[in-house]
Amino acid sequence: MDASEMAELRTMYVFCPAEGSTWGLTYETLAAKLRERDPEEFIRVEQGTEGPVRGSSMHFGITLEDQELEGTAVLSPGGVALQDCSAQDAANFVKWLRGSVVPEGMAMTFNTEWGLEARLPDALVPDVPRPRLVATFLAHLVATGGPLRFRI
């Protein structure tokens, strides 16, 4: 798989506070930050009592760099997931999270759907320029073995 094909791979990215810390995330503050960007943003809070998600969850839309994306936030254990996105989309989202949601100086971890399936531990999201962040996410995808799923 070449670099351009790798860059197009889409999966779920999960972003959480580092173990033992919290961002003080609330649905109200996240919704307010999303609506600062776009007052018409899609936001829905559900009280989950059945299925794999216990407790409430917030579903939302966000447009970054002309990409319409969907995400989910949960308060316990606390974190935000971005569905069906590329490494570039995830890097753009991290830059927004750091600038709008995550308290300054707080660490953030990430994993992907493929990383969770491969039982990879969460990794710290480095505070680096966007191209290096994209490279970090692509290296993670390679480590999951995910790209091998697409070889014919």
Position 54 scores a pLDDT of 59
State yes or no: pLDDT of 102 exceeds 90.
yes
The per-residue pLDDT for 148 is 58
Residue 104 domain-assigned (yes or no): yes
Q: Residue 151's pLDDT is what?
A: 44
Q: Given a cut of 50, is residue 152 above it in pLDDT?
A: no
* Assigned domain for 152 exists: no
- Residues spanned by the domain of 27: 3-146
37-43 CB contacts, 8 Å cutoff, 24+ apart? 37/62, 37/63, 37/96, 38/62, 38/63, 42/70
- Evaluate whether 1 touches 147 at the Cβ level (below 8 Å): yes
Give domain status of residue 64, yes or no.
yes
| Within-domain flag for 119 | yes
Query: Residue for token digits 């707080």?
Result: 106
pLDDT: which is higher, 51 or 111: 111
On whether residue 72 sits in a domain, the answer given is: yes
Number of domains comprising the chain: 1
| Global model pTM greater than 0.85 | yes
Q: What is the pLDDT of residues 22-66, one digit of tens each?
A: 999 999 999 999 999 999 889 999 886 555 545 789 999 999 998
Partners of residue 63 on adjacent β-strands: 68
Residue 24: CB atoms within 10 A of its CB come to 12
pLDDT (0 to 100) of residue 125? 98
Question: Does 151 reside within a domain?
Answer: no
